[in-house]
A and B are shown apart, each in its own frame.
Chain A
């Protein structure tokens, strides 16, 4: 199991890191922290490279490295990871540039199993997509972004489960809102829901929404299966049945004290592109963290 956490700046990435590392621990997954720096105009890539070489000879790290360094020490300070300090480690932060677009960072004198630091440059969606495709991550975790386009592109093009850590407040009590129906994605969503609930030690509200008064057998079956699975895993779970538009209802119930977990849409990419999908609607309108399980 591999998890990718995308960070951007010290100001906004703390909650994303906390949630990300908790989820990674729940799955016993190896974690990669990536920072995607801004795209540099192709006219100047070599000139910037030359300037960066000079900067390194003066022992200045390139931009982005300090964010990764901060992320690493943030996790270490909060005891989420246990870095080992070794004498024989790198004498200074070492950046191994693979192809000018992606490089690996090794921090000075420190190693930590299961945590990799990656720095990339370019368009964020293109870079995350490439990272997920080549390294085959199972979950991509990223902070909430106000941009509608970005949310759309994440769901459309990133080929992994996606956890958007929107407005997460570590001091607040959360419950999980697990949206289930008869779609094939539901059973994976239930499994992820159980793991996340265990990681955060919180209860789960299982929400089944039907468009009409009659709940289909598939819906009821999924709700009961979920409740059974969660209770067996020792998690406090309760079923909620609602009638209404699924996306609106999920957003309505979730408010800001839930972590929404739902399966990815099975619609064709063309339909998703032009019409959208339930998870996308929910993601755009909710004001709490949301995990879309693929």
Chain B
């Protein structure tokens, strides 16, 4: 037909089926483009919202590679006249993006140090053989570590420890399916619970801090911890309890698994001076975050740590390069750029006003309603796309909801960690899912309980404890 061979027609049809979400997105984008912009919203503001909608649809369905979506955002912002080419390029990079880059690279450096056997030893020394204690230990250690070194690092380190316990309890996966679920979810959910605890717990926190800075607000590392860490500590036992009620483990004692783990640890190399220095570098990075992040930025300090690891020869550039997803970093840059422009074009204000118009009376009568709305919006979005992207895009809007931008901003950052419902929401969840030992449906099965608990707890927490400490 028309000179096209059957082969090229087949190729074209295949392309169509693979890219159908891209085409659907473009059609929706075009329809929106030709609709008049809503009253009270500038033309550039409306066009920014069109880019946000189409970009989010593509991030969720992934019809084209993530860096391609980043480029789409970039070129559309220029074509739509939202900013000049240079302004858009500048909006792509800030300290938060550097922080994401730095923490992804720190993860590689840390995971390569082989601290997993030390952590394994620590856990079993603390918990003993009892399954319920081990589940609590896994949740608590994952949460506390991920507050400081990032959730994907912790999940990668903890996964083999859990696998050892599971495989050496029974080699038949069907006999330990609940045990697998309970241990793996304690890692994933522990990481999520902990990641809210400090500004360096995740890229999303760093993005929120950069938005605070743009709005001339500031929060120190310690203040963040004072405000939020108790929430981490409250959630740990509740999550461990919900997990054990949802997946009743087949074994109440894990004798053979724990024994095997002890043998594995004994076989591994002893801690060397080099390992100690590597740990010390990380500790210095942590101190840097605590004392200097307000003045020189989280990203600068993270990259200083990476620099030190490279100078010290703790990690090779090839390893960093191979294990760092540059495409994802560019995409985070693009979502930050979108966030900046949502604010600059007035779209953020307009969107926030729509929410206030809808729920304004309720929000005035019951102050916690605005928190509930922010939590609901953020959690929903965070479960279908990356949590950092959620904060990047939603942050500028939620800062305008409620009377105190700092309050709503922190609530947004916390709620963006509630990616319990799906296997794709958070890297920690994807990591345990990729072990093949838990099913996608399990995330929904237990996620809704943990999710609803966390959402309600957060609304109560910020309306009681925060009032108290203020």
Give me the interface of A with B, judged by CB distance under 8 Å.
Answer: 37, 40-55, 57-58, 60, 63-64, 123, 126, 129, 153, 156-157, 159, 268-270, 273
Contacts and interface: CB of A to CB of B under 8 A. Distances in A.
B312 interface: no
Given A40-B434, A48-B434, 12 more contacts: A42-B65, A44-B152, A50-B108, A51-B155, A52-B434, A55-B435, A57-B160, A156-B14, A157-B14, A157-B17, A268-B1, A269-B10
B66 interface: yes
Contacts of A40: 430, 434
B342 to A, nearest CB: 21
Interface stretch (B222-230, B324-332, B391-399): B324-332
A55 B430 contact: no
Nearest to B60: A41
24 contacts: A42-B62, A42-B66, A42-B325, A42-B328, A43-B325, A44-B152, A45-B325, A48-B431, A48-B434, A50-B152, A53-B111, A54-B116, A54-B160, A55-B435, A57-B114, A58-B163, A129-B14, A157-B14, A157-B17, A159-B10, A268-B9, A269-B9, A270-B13, A273-B13
Contacts of B325: 42-43, 45-46
A63 B436 contact: yes
Interface in B305-330: 323-325, 327-328
Given A41-B430, A129-B14, A51 B6 contact: no
Interface in B1-37: 1, 6, 9-10, 13-14, 17-18
A57 B157 CA distance: 11
Contacts of A51: 152, 155-156, 159, 431, 434-435
B159 A49 contact: no
A47 B159 CA distance: 12
Contact of A41 (B13, B62, B107): B62
Interface string B23-62: 0000000000000000000000000000000000000001
A1 B264 CA distance: 46
B386 interface: yes
Interface string B422-435: 00100100110011
B253 interface: no
B167 interface: yes
Interface of B: 1, 6, 9-10, 13-14, 17-18, 62, 65-66, 104, 107-108, 111, 114, 116, 152, 155-157, 159-160, 163-164, 167, 264, 323-325, 327-328, 386, 424, 427, 430-431, 434-437
- A interface, by DSSP: helix, strand, loop or mixed? helix
A44 B152 CA distance: 9
Contact of B163 (A37, A46, A60, A126): A60
A40 B427 CA distance: 10
Given A50-B152, A58-B164, A58-B264, A268 B434 contact: no
Contacts of A49: 323
Nearest to B328: A43
B427 A47 contact: yes
Contacts of A270: 1, 9, 13
Contacts of B66: 42-43
Nearest to B156: A51
Given A42-B328, A47-B155, A51-B434, A269 B13 contact: yes
Contacts of B435: 51, 55, 63
A50 B66 CA distance: 19
Contacts of A159: 10
A63 B437 CA distance: 8
A64 B434 CA distance: 10
Nearest to A51: B156
B111 to A, nearest CB: 5
B324 A48 contact: no
A276 to B, nearest CB: 13
Given A42-B327, A43-B66, A156-B13, A268 B6 contact: yes
A153 B17 contact: yes
Contacts of B163: 55, 58, 60
A126 B18 contact: yes
A158 to B, nearest CB: 10
A42 B63 CA distance: 11
Contacts of B160: 54-55, 57-58, 60
Given A63-B435, A269-B6, A54 B157 contact: yes
Nearest to B1: A268
Contacts of A153: 17
Contacts of A44: 152, 424, 427, 430-431, 434
Contacts of B17: 153, 157
A273 B12 CA distance: 11
Nearest to A44: B430
B229 to A, nearest CB: 25
Nearest to B114: A57
Contacts of A50: 107-108, 111, 152, 156, 323
Contacts of A269: 6, 9-10, 13
B444 to A, nearest CB: 16
A46 B1 CA distance: 43
A41 B419 CA distance: 14
A103 B26 CA distance: 35
Nearest to B164: A58
Nearest to B59: A43
A42 B68 CA distance: 12
